[in-house]
Chains A and B, each alone.
Chain A
Amino acid sequence: MNEMDKATLTEEIRTALRMIIDPEIGKNIVDLGLVYDIVVEEGGVVYVTMTTTTRFCPATDFLKEAVQACVWYVPGVEYAEVRLTYEPPWTPQMMLDVA
């Protein structure tokens, strides 16, 4: 898997994650800036670092599991791991203009 393949897979994952909405805001988690990082490694191993709008929001587990499930279904992904972080904490300024 060369760098271009990794970049392509990263973009496909990002596109797939756009189907997941934050239930409260109703916008997708990518445009909201909740997906901090997507790292694709050799063999289709993927690490996603994400956050939620509110620390310990009751939707946290559901969002994390949704990201996990969504990434697994992207062709080319062999292993996916989702890490939840609050460093830095999400702020509304992290939203993309389209959100």
Chain B
Amino acid sequence: MQQWLARLVPAAAADRVVPPTGLTATLTMATAAAMAFLAVFALALSLAAGRVAERWSDALSRGATIRISAPADQVAAQTQAVITILQSTPGVAESRAFSVEETKALLQPWFGPDLPVDSLPLPQLIEIRETGGGTFDPEALRLRLTAEAPGAVLDDHLRWRRPLAEAAGRLRFLGGMSLLLIGGVMAAMITLAAQAALSANGQVLRVLRLIGAQDRYIARAFVRRYTLRALAGAAMGTFVGVVAIAVLPAASEQGGFLTGLGFHGLDWLWPLTIPPLAALVGFWATRRAAFRVLRDGM
């Protein structure tokens, strides 16, 4: 890969003054590849967390539920009363009472298909859909329900929505932090590799300085080499990471968070930013190391 890149970007005369160094070259490329591989996963995690946060927030914020727990002979009357109240409540677009089958379906994942729903004192559930323009006033609705349907309890999903959205937000934050840490570790490793190469080439630096080479000329030779190595390594790591993400089990709406850990649509373009960013990290890390060694050493 590096040879291919070197052919693509012909070596300047300056670059030839730096002798090829096998160990640091391998170290830099391997580090960049490993970090890019991890960066792909951190990116996927961050994007997936973002999607989950949006989905949860969006789905939960546009709806509410009313639960009616009343003696069996009053359930129908209170249900009808609640529906009537909702029809005249500003901000409510639609309301609908769950059928027994729907309630049973909700419980099925926990109790199995043979649940004798009829024998259980299950509350009646009423689903509320808000209008697109705004939300209803939950406190006003609660007051009306208390007066006209004492067994009805409004759940506006706030207590669910907040921790879920917070959890997803923190996952997204962790993904971002991981990316930053990966970038930092990559910069540190490339700096160490560049410093090792610069130290190993003390005689080269000395000769170049003595014949009149300026620091930026010497630094450029090292910087170009390490930038290309970081780019090549990161490209390989990114490719492997993207392939690994692509072969994960297919995501689906019901698939949950883990199977949703992938890229959707234009998200697949995000990993393409990793190699150039790695090259940028390599560029600055090597440049800084080179100038420091030159300044301190001779």
Chains A and B belong together in one complex: no
Which residues of A are at the interface with B, using a C-beta cutoff of 8 A? Answer: none
